[in-house]
C-alpha cells in the first residue's frame, strides 16, 4: 500500500474502514494517512532479531522446565561426581536406554531421592539433609543403606556368626543414652561373615524430619551380641562417607510421590508399535524452517501416523545436570484423517461420527477428526538436584506411543 498516493490511498482506506463519503484532503487527513501508513509498515512481518529469538528460546525452556516440575535448571555438580550405583541400577531396571518406562511396577510413587551422609566419618552416627524434598511430596518409604565391610581376621568372637544391628532416631544430640534420647526404628540379626549392602526401614523418622527440619538430629547405629550385650571392639563395620570408596558411602533412599499423574501406559513392545515415516528427527527447540507449499500439501495427504521428534538434552543445555538419558524420542503425530476412517486409523466412535458429519456436510463448521496421540508413555530422568543429590523421577505422558484419529 506504500506505493498509493493522494486520493487513491484515501479511497482504499475509506473502503477498508467502511466509509462511503470521501475524506477532505486536509492537513489532518494527510497526518492521519501518514500515521496509518506507518502502522501498516510496522505491522509487516519481519525476520526475528537475535534478541527476540533468544527471548523465544528462553520462554520455551521455561515452559519445558514447568513440564519437568522445576522453576530453574539445577546447576551442574561443582566437581566430577559419580551417581550412587544403586540409583543407576534402579534407573536401568525401570527404564530403557531412552528413559521410557519399561517396568512401571518397580517404583513406589514417581520420585526416588538419594542423600549421602553429612557426618563425614563419625562412626555409627549418620546425618542426612532433606531440604530438597518438596512440601507437596508424600513420603512413602525411606531406607538407610549401609555397606557391610569384610571383618578383619582379628575381629569378632569366634563362637558367634551373627550380631544384632539396631538403628535409632536421635532425639537428643548430646544425651543419646538418656531415657528419651533416642527412638528405635529398626533392628535385626546380621551375619558377621561376608560383605554387602544392608537396608533398614526408617520411614517414620524421615516423616518427622520433613514436618519439622529442626527435629533432624540424625541416626545412631549400634552393634550388639545376640543377648543384647555390647561388643567391644565391634566385630561388624560399615563403610563411612570419609574413609571408603564413593560407591560404598552410607545413603538414605527416599521414595515419594508429588501427585502429578497422567494417562501414561506401560510401554509393552515399545517402540515398534506402529509404522513410522523415515523422516529425520525434529530437534527440540530448533528454529522452524518453512517447507514448500508442495511439501505441506503432501503432509496433509499422508494418513495419520507417528513421526520422530528427538529431544536432545545436550542441545538444550541440560547435559550438565541430567545423568540419564542423554535425550529421548518423544514422537509426534501428523497426517490426515480422511473419510471413511479405517481401523488402521484407530478412530474413536466419536471421531467416526464426526468424520461422517463432515463428509456429508450435515452440519456447518464441523471439521474432520485430528491426528493425535492415542497412547502415551512415561519417561524417567536420573539427575543431580540443586544440592547435588541424585534423583530418579518419572514423568507421565511424555512419549507418543501411537497415533489415531480423534
Set of cell numbers at residue 254? 527416599
Task: Give the count of alpha carbons within 13 A of 214, CB side only.
Answer: 0
Same domain, 242 and 115: yes
What is the structure's pLDDT at 259? 87
Report how far residue 307's alpha carbon sits from residue 280's, in angstroms, rounded to the nearest whole number. 9
The domain boundary, picked from 218, 236, 257, lies at 257
What is the structure's pLDDT at 336? 85
**DSSP element (H, E) containing 297:** helix 293-301
Is residue 129 assigned to a domain? Answer: yes
CATH of residue 337's domain is: 2.10.90.10
Same domain, 118 and 253: yes
Radius of gyration over every alpha carbon of the chain, rounded to an integer in angstroms: 32
For 238, counting Cβ atoms within 10 Å of its Cβ (0-12 exposed, 13-18 middle, 19+ buried), the class is buried
What is the structure's pLDDT at 40? 47
Is residue 283 assigned to a domain? Answer: no
Same domain, 316 and 247: no
For 94, counting Cβ atoms within 10 Å of its Cβ (0-12 exposed, 13-18 middle, 19+ buried), the class is buried
Contacts 24+ apart (CB under 8 A), 243-249: 243/121, 244/147, 244/149, 246/82, 247/82, 247/84, 247/85, 248/147, 249/84, 249/116, 249/117, 249/147
The domain boundary, picked from 196, 225, 257, lies at 257
Same domain, 219 and 310: no
Which residue, 105, 191, 121, is CA-closest to 150? 191
Same domain, 230 and 317: no
Is residue 6 assigned to a domain? Answer: no
What is the structure's pLDDT at 51? 76
Residue pointed to by grid coordinates 496433509: 300
Same domain, 115 and 198: yes
User: Where are the strands (E) in 313-370, listed by range?
Assistant: 322-324, 327-329, 332-334
Is residue 277 assigned to a domain? Answer: no
Same domain, 242 and 319: no
What is the structure's pLDDT at 27? 54
What is the structure's pLDDT at 359? 80
Number of domains in the chain: 2
Inter-residue contact 331 to 306 (CB < 8 Å): yes
Same domain, 315 and 396: yes
Same domain, 130 and 248: yes
Set of cell numbers at residue 359? 463428509
Q: What is the pLDDT along the chain (406 residues), one digit of tens a residue?
A: 444 454 554 454 455 445 555 544 455 545 554 555 454 454 555 566 777 888 888 888 888 888 888 878 888 888 778 899 999 999 999 999 999 999 888 888 999 999 999 886 667 899 999 999 988 899 999 999 999 888 765 554 555 688 899 999 999 877 777 778 889 999 999 988 888 999 999 999 999 999 999 999 999 999 888 877 777 777 788 888 776 677 889 999 999 999 887 655 555 555 444 444 433 344 444 444 445 555 555 555 688 899 999 999 999 899 899 999 999 999 999 998 888 877 777 777 888 888 888 787 888 888 888 899 999 999 999 999 999 999 999 999 999 999 988 8
Is residue 298 assigned to a domain? Answer: no
What is the structure's pLDDT at 366? 84
What is the structure's pLDDT at 35? 53
Same domain, 317 and 218: no
The domain boundary, picked from 198, 233, 257, lies at 257
Report how far residue 301's alpha carbon sits from residue 303's, in angstroms, rounded to the nearest whole number. 6
Same domain, 203 and 121: yes
Is residue 61 assigned to a domain? Answer: no
**Please, which residues bridge with residue 196 across strands?**
148
Q: Quote the domain boundaries for residue 366.
A: 305-405
Same domain, 219 and 316: no
Strand order across the 309-312 sheet:
282-283, 309-312, 327-329
Which residue, 65, 113, 70, is CA-closest to 313? 65
Report how far residue 236's alpha carbon sits from residue 166's, in angstroms, rounded to the nearest whole number. 12
Report how far residue 68's alpha carbon sits from residue 65's, in angstroms, rounded to the nearest whole number. 5
Is residue 15 assigned to a domain? Answer: no
Inter-residue contact 358 to 345 (CB < 8 Å): no
Is residue 351 assigned to a domain? Answer: yes
Amino acid at each position: 500500500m506504500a506505493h498509493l498516493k493522494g486520493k487513491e490511498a484515501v479511497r482504499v482506506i475509506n473502503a477498508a474502514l467502511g466509509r462511503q463519503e470521501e475524506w477532505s484532503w486536509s492537513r489532518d487527513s494527510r497526518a492521519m494517512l501518514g500515521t496509518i501508513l506507518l502502522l501498516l509498515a510496522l505491522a509487516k512481518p519481519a525476520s526475528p532479531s537475535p534478541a527476540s529469538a533468544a527471548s523465544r528460546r528462553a520462554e520455551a525452556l521455561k515452559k519445558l522446565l514447568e513440564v519437568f516440575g522445576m522453576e530453574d535448571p539445577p546447576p551442574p555438580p561443582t566437581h566430577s561426581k559419580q551417581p550412587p550405583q544403586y540409583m543407576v541400577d534402579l534407573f536401568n531396571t525401570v527404564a530403557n536406554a531412552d528413559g521410557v518406562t519399561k517396568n512401571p511396577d518397580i517404583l513406589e510413587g514417581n520420585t526416588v531421592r538419594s542423600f549421602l551422609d553429612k557426618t563425614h566419618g563419625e562412626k555409627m552416627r549418620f546425618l542426612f539433609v532433606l531440604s530438597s524434598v518438596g512440601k507437596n511430596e508424600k513420603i512413602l518409604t525411606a531406607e538407610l543403606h549401609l555397606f557391610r565391610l569384610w571383618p578383619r581376621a582379628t575381629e569378632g568372637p569366634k563362637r558367634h556368626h551373627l550380631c544384632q544391628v539396631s538403628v535409632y532416631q536421635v532425639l537428643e544430640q548430646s544425651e543419646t543414652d538418656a531415657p528419651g534420647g533416642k527412638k528405635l526404628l529398626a533392628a535385626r540379626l546380621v551375619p558377621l561373615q561376608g560383605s554387602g549392602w544392608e537396608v533398614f526401614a526408617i520411614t517414620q523418622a524421615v516423616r518427622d524430619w520433613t514436618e519439622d527440619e529442626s527435629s533432624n538430629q540424625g541416626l545412631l547405629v549400634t552393634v550388639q551380641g545376640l543377648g543384647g550385650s555390647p561388643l567391644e571392639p565391634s566385630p561388624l563395620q560399615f563403610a563411612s562417607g570419609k574413609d571408603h570408596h564413593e560407591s560404598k558411602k552410607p545413603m538414605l533412599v527416599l521414595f515419594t510421590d508429588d501427585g502429578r499423574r497422567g494417562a501414561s501406559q506401560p510401554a509393552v513392545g515399545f517402540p515398534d508399535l506402529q509404522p513410522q515415516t523415515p523422516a529425520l528427527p525434529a530437534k527440540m527447540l530448533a528454529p522452524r524452517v518453512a517447507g514448500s507449499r508442495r511439501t505441506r500439501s503432501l503432509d496433509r495427504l499422508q494418513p495419520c501416523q507417528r513421526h520422530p521428534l528427538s529431544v536432545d538434552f545436550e542441545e538444550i543445555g541440560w547435559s550438565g545436570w541430567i545423568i540419564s538419558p542423554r535425550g529421548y524420542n518423544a514422537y509426534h503425530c501428523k497426517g490426515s484423517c480422511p473419510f471413511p476412517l479405517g481401523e488402521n486409523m484407530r478412530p474413536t466412535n466419536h471421531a467416526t461420527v464426526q468424520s461422517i458429519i463432515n463428509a456429508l456436510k450435515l452440519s456447518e463448521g464441523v471439521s474432520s477428526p485430528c491426528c493425535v496421540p492415542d497412547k502415551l508413555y512415561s519417561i524417567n530422568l536420573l539427575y543431580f538436584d540443586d544440592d547435588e543429590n541424585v534423583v530418579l523421577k518419572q514423568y507421565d505422558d511424555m512419549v507418543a506411543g501411537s497415533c489415531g484419529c480423534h
